[in-house]
Amino acid sequence: MLTDWDWILFDADDTLFHFDAYAGLQQMFRRYDVDFTHDDYTAYQAVNKPLWIAYQNGAITALQLQHRRFVGWAEKLRVEPQELNGGFLEAMADICLPLPGAASLLNALKDNVKMGIITNGFSALQKVRLARTGFMDHFEFVVISEQIGVAKPQPAIFEHALTLMGNPSRQRVMMVGDNPDSDILGGINAGFTTCWLNADGRAQPETIKPDWQVSSLAELQDRLLPDGVEGQ
């Protein structure tokens, strides 16, 4: 029931917003007359994913991640890596779409519970997407790892959010996210109730056990508002 919570915190990418990196990269590379293929994307992810793990573990900074993932392409195209990274984030903002059920859920919750966002995404993209979708006004705060220098699941980013919330009872805070390794593990370690948005039917990690698991935001809305309150 919604009355069990003082705060509900959301991840952004693939929790509130569809994050189609392949489409974004294709759009960005078209500006350089590059036909970015699926094989190119596989090679990109072989570089990008370990960088994200290192970033979440605190081994590299956000700036280093954004630079290093485009070094190879920058050399081929004779441009700076930050130019490609900026173009990618701009393309991702251009193709931004909320996930199904996001608008209904947020509208249903906004007058009944306080909400915030904790995201490992980058400031340039997150702020534009929140503004374009009209979601910004639904949230009391947006905590972006790039701005505070610590990423989920590190405890400091959740403690920062707790301070912004005025240090409520941790048991009355729910963390909702699609990534078990950052959103759910971080929320568990912070003492929050956790809800895993598992839209793809992935197997649950043996060592990470969310309190709730839902397959869609519509299902989460039904669990939080079983009396059928609808978003306007």
Domains and CATH numbers, the chain: 2-17+98-224 (3.40.50.1000), 21-94 (1.10.150.240)
pLDDT in tens, 175-205: 999 999 999 999 999 999 999 999 999 999 9
At position 10, the amino acid (one-letter code) is F
pLDDT band at residue 231 under the 50/70/90 scheme: very low
Q: Is 35 a catalytic residue?
A: no
Res. 209: pLDDT tops 90:
yes
Contact 117, 142 (CB under 8 A): yes
Alpha-carbon distances, residue 10 vs 6, 65, 155, 175 (angstroms): 14, 23, 16, 6
Tokens of 174: 């729910």
Contact 93, 125 (CB under 8 A): yes
pLDDT at 228: 61
Spot the catalytic one: 6, 11, 35, 222: 11
pLDDT at 214: 98
